[in-house]
Amino acid sequence: MLRGVVYSNSGAAPVQQAIDAVVDKALAAGRVVGTVLLLTDHGEPVYARAAGYADREAGIPMTVDTVFRWASLTKPVVAVTALALMERGRLDLDDPVTRFLPDFTPDLPDGSAPQISVRHLLTHTAGLGYPSLDPDDPYVAAGVSQGLDQPGMSMQDNLRRIGSVPLYFRPGSAWRYSVATDVLGAVIAVVHGGSLADAVASYVTDPLRMGDSGFAVRETARLAVPYADGTPRAVRMGEPHRVEEIVCIWT
């Protein structure tokens, strides 16, 4: 385990001690296997710490340059990419999705096909859903991928499957966590004129010098093992790994 490193002496020690106490408690309880923390003050780095293990079973310690799986944290990155295109006047919140994806016209249960906008995709109010653990889930029945279960599936194929499932509600009338970001990614690819990965790199990760961020791992030796909540301590995730599911719907 590596201790915290303070880069500034201006009141950073109390902050370091407070953060260390929280991290040490979580590690001791087994709720967290490993973590990396970076703290800045007005853009200046004041604290950095790698603690615990990148691979507990192999005894590999966490380092400040360990690579982590982002999972759904990809969603805000894709959203920022869309906003960057809006800054350049190439995309608008109220643009209908069919302007870029003319074949994406999912129906409501009554058979009507309401207009879905970019705004709806960004805010998860498009009426779309997300594949669940329920075998009767319409997204499961349609073979919709949640991004990890069917490697190699093309965006076009997944988009077709998403569009075949009836909407849960009229766009803009409620909120439901969904695959809307997948559809937004397809829109971005069309607007950018290349792949979604290229667009994210061009507008977000490259300008921010996020060299290790992408849709594929460049150095697998630096990749941390994923762990999930367990009793009495976090457990190593399997392939696949079942976790408790929470579905949120706001109206």
Catalytic machinery residues: 72
Q: What residue type is 4 in one-letter code?
A: G
Cα 215–chain centre separation: 11
Report, in angstroms and rounded to the nearest whole number, the Rg of the chain calculated over CA atoms.
Answer: 21
Q: Which residue's structure tokens are 């009141």?
A: 11
Helix, strand, coil fractions of the chain, as percent rounded to 5: 35, 15, 55
- Give the CA distances from residue 241 to residues 54, 55, 146, 229, in Å, rounded to whole numbers and listed in that order: 18, 17, 14, 11
How far is the C-alpha of 116 from the C-alpha of 138, rounded, in Å?
A: 20
How far is the C-alpha of 121 from the C-alpha of 179, rounded, in Å?
A: 9
How far is the C-alpha of 178 from the C-alpha of 176, rounded, in Å?
A: 6
